[in-house]
């Protein structure tokens, strides 16, 4: 999966993604596959109107059903 190099806040402001965003992990089991990606929005992003959105520019396989994505803050 490839993500855009910027994100949008709830008021439509566009901001660059900062830092190293190349980290990903994958966990496989018989029942499921879990993929994790680390994205640095920068410390100032805490003060931007929420939610923040980021576009997926490329996904390697067809998406056949709806999915939800939960973002965790450190």
Ranges of each domain in the chain: 2-58
Q: How far apart are CA 1 and CA 60, in angstroms?
A: 6
pTM: predicted TM-score of the whole model, two decimal places: 0.64
For the chain, the C-alpha Rg in angstroms (whole number) is 14
Q: In the structure, what pLDDT confidence band is assigned to residue 30 with cuts at 50, 70 and 90? A: confident
Task: For the chain, give the mean pLDDT.
Answer: 81
pLDDT at 22 over 70: no
Looking at residue 39, its pLDDT comes to 81
């Amino acid at each position: 999966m490839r993500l855009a190099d910027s994100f949008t806040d709830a008021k439509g402001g566009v901001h660059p993604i900062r830092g190293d965003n190349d980290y990903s992990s994958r966990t496989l089991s018989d029942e499921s596959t879990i993929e994790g990606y680390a994205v640095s929005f920068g410390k100032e992003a805490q003060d931007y109107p929420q939610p923040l959105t980021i576009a997926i520019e490329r996904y390697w396989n067809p998406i056949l059903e709806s999915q939800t994505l939960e973002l965790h803050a450190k």
